[in-house]
Structure 1
Amino acid sequence: MQKFTYVITAVQGIHARPAGQLVNVAKKYESQIMISAKEKTADLKKILALMSLGVKQNEEVTVSVTGTDEAVAVKELKQFFANNL
C-alpha cells in the first residue's frame, strides 16, 4: 500500500468538475484507491462517495492506493492533485 497526503488549495475545494476528472483518473487503475478527509473515507472511483466528503479549501486529504499498479497510480494522482486541486 502506498499513500500520500495533500492540502487542497483550490478555492472551491473538490467540487463537481475536478471530482469527475479525479474519478476518471482513478478508474484507469486496477488498484483500490481510497480518499480520507475529516475522519471519513470514500472510494475514489465513485463520484458520489467523493462528493459526500465535502472537501473544502485548506483541508487535508489522504489518498491510499493498494494493488498491482499502485506505484503508477500514486504518481499520476499526485500530479493531478498538484495541477488541479
Structure 2
Amino acid sequence: MVERTLNINNKFGLHARPASNLVSLTSKFKSNVYISKGEKKVNAKSLLAVLSLGVSYGDEIKITISGEDEIDAMDKLTELINNGLGE
C-alpha cells in the first residue's frame, strides 16, 4: 500500500471535467484507489464518489493505493494532479 498527500492546484477544484479525467485514469489500474478529504474516503474509480468530496482549489487530499500496480498508479495520479488535472 502507498499513500501520498497532495494539494489541488486546479483553480476550480475537482468539478466534473477534472474529476472525470481522474476517474478515467484510475480505472486503468488494477489496484484499489481511494481519495480522502478530511474524514471522508471514497473510491477514486467512481465519478459520483469523487464529486461528493467537494474538493476545491488548495484543498489537501490523501491518495491511498493498494494492489499490484500501485507504484505506477501513484506516479501517474500524482503527475495528473500536479499538472492541473488536464485543464
TM-score (norm 2): 0.94
Q: Deviations over 1:6-38 (max 9, x none)?
A: 111111111100000100000000000000002
Q: Deviations over 1:34-68 (max 9, x none)?
A: 00002101100000000000001111000000000
> What amino acid does structure 2 have at the position aligned with 1:65?
I
Correspondence for 2:75: 75
Gaps of 5+ in 1: none
TM-score (norm 1): 0.96
Correspondence for 2:15: 15
| Structure with more helix by fraction | 1
Equivalent residues, number: 85
> Share of identical aligned residues, percent?
38
- CA RMSD in angstroms comes to 0.8
